[in-house]
Structure 1
Amino acid sequence: MRCPFCAHENSQVKDSRPTEDGAAIRRRRQCEACGARFTTFERIQLRELTVLKSDERRQLFDRDKLVRSITVACRKRGIDSAQIEQLVSGIQRQLETQGDGEVPASRIGELVMDGLKALDSVAYIRFASVYKDFREAKDFEEFAGNVSEAGRG
């Protein structure tokens, strides 16, 4: 594994353990050249996923991009990174086990919306505002009203 500090090719594993959700292995490494320590994660990948965008472009699925967008929606909501990782792992597992390797971006968005709806209503509305491209305050009002009504039912 290449060192992120000095780009040396070799590092030594100092500690290895499963993550809390058991979906990955966390490894603490030390660079043989500069001595810097860093962490890597090893995950099972069932298949390579390609995301089909609404404009017909195709991109490789980027787990980190998904983590970042969910993290932004959850900012200052008391949701820890382990909960976000668990949500992303669940979404990725669903995508890898169904259909072929090409997934519409809209499917990923719907899975995130479902997960956030169960996790935190404010994070759900924040994500929806970007995903559904809210343009005006009334868009927020209508969507939040629907969320509130669903919570009472």
Structure 2
Amino acid sequence: MKCPFCGHDDSKVVDSRPTDEGTSIRRRRECLKCFKRFTTYETVERMPLMLVKRDGTRQPYDRQKLLGGLVKACEKRPVSLMQLEQIVDNVEQRVFSALESEVSSKTIGELVMEQLRSVDEVAYVRFASVYRQFKDINTFMDELNTLLKDK
């Protein structure tokens, strides 16, 4: 591992432990030339996942784009970034465990809404309104009535 301070190619691992989520390994390293310490993270390399949009176009799955949509839906709501990251982690786990190289945006959206509904109902309705592209107030009311009926 190259030292970020002096660029030397060799370092030693001083400490190694799993992260809190258990999805990566945190390694504390020491440069063998300048003796400064730095941290690296080791994660499992996942196969690339293509997202199939409604219009049939394909684009690479982007975790940050999904997280950004959730952040917008939860704006001014009592939902932490940690909760949103957990939702994305849960969705990714289900999608990647299917071992498919493509997933529809509809599948991703439904998985997100399933998770978001139990976290914050207002954020759920906001996300659903964009995701389901409510055409008018009646479609919006239908979703609200479904939400109220399921309570």
- Which bracket does the TM-score occupy, shorter chain normalised? 0.7 to 0.9
Q: Distance in 2 between matches of 1:41 and 1:75?
A: 30
Aligned-residue RMSD, C-alpha: 3.0
Paired AA for residue 4 in structure 2: S
- Seq. identity, %: 39
1:103 match: secondary structure: strand
**Cα displacement (A) at 1:99:** 4.3
Q: Distance in 1 between matches of 2:76 and 2:20?
A: 22
Change (3 A) 1:98 1:67: same
Q: Distance in 2 between matches of 1:105 and 1:121?
A: 21
**Cα displacement (A) at 1:71:** 1.0
Change (3 A) 1:148 1:46: same
**Cα displacement (A) at 1:21:** 2.5
- The answer for the alignment partner of 2:105 in structure 1 is 105
Q: Which ranges in structure 2 are unaligned for 5 or more consecutive residues?
A: 6-14, 29-38
Change (3 A) 1:42 1:63: farther
One of 4, 22, 33 as aligned partner of 1:11:
4
Number of aligned residue pairs: 135
- The answer for the alignment partner of 1:87 in structure 2 is 87
2:51 match: secondary structure: strand
Q: Distance in 2 between matches of 1:149 and 1:111?
A: 20
Paired AA for residue 87 in structure 2: L
Q: Distance in 2 between matches of 1:132 and 1:26?
A: 39
Q: Distance in 2 between matches of 1:117 and 1:95?
A: 19
Following superposition of structure 1 onto structure 2, how do residues 1-150 of structure 1 map, counting pairs within 5 Å?
A: 11-12=4-5, 19-24=19-24, 43-150=43-150
If you compute each CA radius of gyration, which structure gives the higher value, 1 or 2? 2
**Cα displacement (A) at 1:149:** 1.4
Q: Which ranges in structure 1 are unaligned for 5 or more consecutive residues?
A: 2-8, 29-38
Per-residue deviation, residues 73-112 of structure 1 (Å, max 9, x unmatched): 1112111111111110111111111041110111001101
1:117 match: secondary structure: helix
2:103 match: secondary structure: strand
Q: Distance in 2 between matches of 1:86 and 1:147?
A: 22
**Cα displacement (A) at 1:120:** 1.1
